[in-house]
Chain A
Amino acid sequence: MEGTSDFLGRDVVSIRDFKRDQLEVLFQSVQELEENPRSLDGQLKGKLVVLLFFEPSTRTYSTFHIAAENLGMKVSGFSNPAGSSVTKGETLHDTIRMFEEYGADLFVIRHTMQGSPRFAAEITEVPVINAGDGSREHPTQAMVDLYAIRKSFGKIDGLKIGILGDLKYGRTASSLAYALANYDVELTFIAPDALKMRPEVQQFLERRGATTESVTDLKGVVGDLDVLYVTRIQKERIPDPTEFEKVKGLYQVNLEALARAKPSLKVLHPLPRVDELSAEIDTTNYANYFVQAAAGLPLRMVLMTNILGGAS
C-alpha cells in the first residue's frame, strides 16, 4: 500500500498530528478494503494488541476488538476498569509497563483523564492509539467521520459543515474540527454559549486559516449546510448537574428541524445518541450515521495494519 510508511510505528494521539495527504492515503486503503473486505484478514497474525479502556465503551472497543481479530491479532486488556487492577489503584504508568513486558505490539487507550494517551506514548516505545481521552480528542473517530463525508460526497473540499451540540465537552466534535482544518470547508459551530467550542480549538482553527462561524440556533443555518454533525450532550463530563439541566434537550434534530435543509444534506452522529437525534430521521436520505458507524471497522483495520506494517 503506497504511503503506508507514514503510519509505520506511529502513535495516533491527536488528529492534528496527521496531514491531509496522509489521511487521504489511509482513506484510499479503507475504500480498497471495503471493496475487498477479506483482503487484510490475518495480516497481523501473532501480534498482540492491548485494549485499555479506563472508561466504559461499546462501539469503539468492539470495533477495535473485531478489527484486531479480523487481522489475526491476539487481544488483551479490558473494556471497563471494573475488575481490573486499576480498581486496586494501579497507575496508568504501571499498567502500560506491565503489558509492554507481556509483549504488547500496540496499545489502544481510552481514559477519562485528558492527555492520558500522550503520557502513555511517552512511557512506551510501543505505538499508542488514542481511543478517546476525556473531553479532548478522539482521533480515530475523526478519521471515520472524514471518511464518511468523503464517501457520501466524493470530496470534502467545498462543503459547508455544521457541528451541533456539546462542542465544549464532546471530544468527537473537537477532533472533527481539527481534522477539517486540513480541508477547504466552511465550518459552522451550533451550540449554546455554555457548550461552545473550546478556545484552544478555535485558536488552532484560526492559526490554520479555517473559515468558521459560531451560532446558537440551527434554524438559521440549516438550509446552507451539506453536512450536519450532531453530538450528544456529555452529561457525564459536565461538572455542574444544574448546567446539564439547562442545556439538555436544547436541540433535537427531527424532521421539523430539517424542514429547510437541502435534500442532499447528510446527517452524521458519532453515536450513541440520546434525545438529540430523532429516530424519524433514520429512514430518510439525510441519515448517514449508520454508514458512518460501519466505516469504523475497516478504518481501524487499515490503521492498525499501517502502524504495524502488516500489509507493506
Chain B
Amino acid sequence: MDSKEVPERMLVSKIEEGTVIDHIPDWKAETVAKVLRLDKLKRMQADVSVAILQNVNSKSLGRKDIVKVDRWQIDEKDADILSLVFPGITINYVDEWQVSKYEPKVPDVIEGRIRCPEVLCISNAQREPVVSKFAALKKERTLQCQYCDTMIGFDAVPDHLR
C-alpha cells in the first residue's frame, strides 16, 4: 500500500455512539468544529472524544476532511447550519453501532445563532431582550437579517456565529 493512501479506518476506529461528519472539503474541519461549537464540550468537561481527520482520500472529492464525535450527537439545527456552509457534507448519527444518515435541511429562519454584522442592528443592542433572526434566501445562497436586512453569504456564516 502506498503510504499516501492510508485508509480512514486505519487512522481512527469506528464509533459505537456519536456523530460522523463526512465529505467536508479538505482542510475545513476546523470550520466545522467552530460551527458545531465543539469547544463547548471542553467547557462542559463532557465525556466525549473528537477525532479530526484532514486531507484523507476520497473517491468523490479527491481529498476530504472527516470529524468524528464519540459519544455526542450533534444538534440537528447545527447540522442544518453546517449544510449552508458545506452543501455536500454528510452527517451520520451512530447509535449502538447502527448508522443513520441525517439529511440536513436549509432552514427558512435561523434564530439566535448568528450575530448581525451591522453594529447598529437592534439585534446587537445590549440589554434589549432580542434574538437575532435571519431568513435564508436559498437561490442567492444568502442569509438576510429580519431586523435590518443586512445580508451574509452562506459561505461567510462561520465568521458571524455567536
Please list the residues of chain A having a beta carbon within 8 angstroms of any beta carbon in chain B.
89, 91-93, 111-116, 118-119, 133-136, 198-200, 203
Known: A92-B128, A93-B128. A113 touches B151 (CB 8 A): no
Please name 20 further chain A to chain B contacts, defined as beta carbons within 8 Å, in addition to the given A92-B128, A115-B122, A119-B128, sorted by A numbering: A91-B127, A91-B129, A114-B120, A114-B122, A114-B147, A115-B146, A115-B147, A116-B147, A118-B147, A119-B122, A119-B123, A119-B130, A133-B148, A134-B120, A134-B148, A135-B120, A136-B148, A136-B149, A200-B144, A203-B137
Contact of B118 among A112, A114, A199 (CB under 8 A): A114
Cβ contact within 8 Å between A115 and B145: yes
Cβ contact within 8 Å between A115 and B121: yes
Q: How far is the CA of A112 from the CA of B119 in the complex (A)?
A: 11
Cβ contact within 8 Å between B122 and A92: yes
Cβ contact within 8 Å between B151 and A199: yes
Known: A91-B128, A92-B128, A93-B129. A116 touches B150 (CB 8 A): no
Cβ contact within 8 Å between B151 and A200: yes
Nearest CB in chain B to that of A116: its residue: B122
**Chain B: number of interface residues, binned into ranges:** 20 to 34
Q: How far is the CA of A115 from the CA of B147 in the complex (A)?
A: 4
Which residues of the other chain, B, contact A200 by a CB distance below 8 angstroms? 144, 149-151
Interface of A is mostly: mixed
Q: How far is the CA of A91 from the CA of B128 in the complex (A)?
A: 6
Q: How far is the CA of A119 from the CA of B146 in the complex (A)?
A: 10
Q: How far is the CA of A176 from the CA of B82 in the complex (A)?
A: 37
Check B140 for interface membership: any CB of A closer than 8 A: yes
Known: A91-B127, A118-B146, A119-B128. A112 touches B120 (CB 8 A): yes
Which residues of the other chain, B, contact A198 by a CB distance below 8 angstroms? 149
Check B12 for interface membership: any CB of A closer than 8 A: no
Chain B 115-159 against A: per-residue CB contact (8 Å), 1 yes, 0 no?
Answer: 000101111010111100000010010101111111100000000
Cβ contact within 8 Å between B140 and A203: yes
Q: How far is the CA of A89 from the CA of B127 in the complex (A)?
A: 9
Contact of A119 among B120, B142, B147 (CB under 8 A): B147
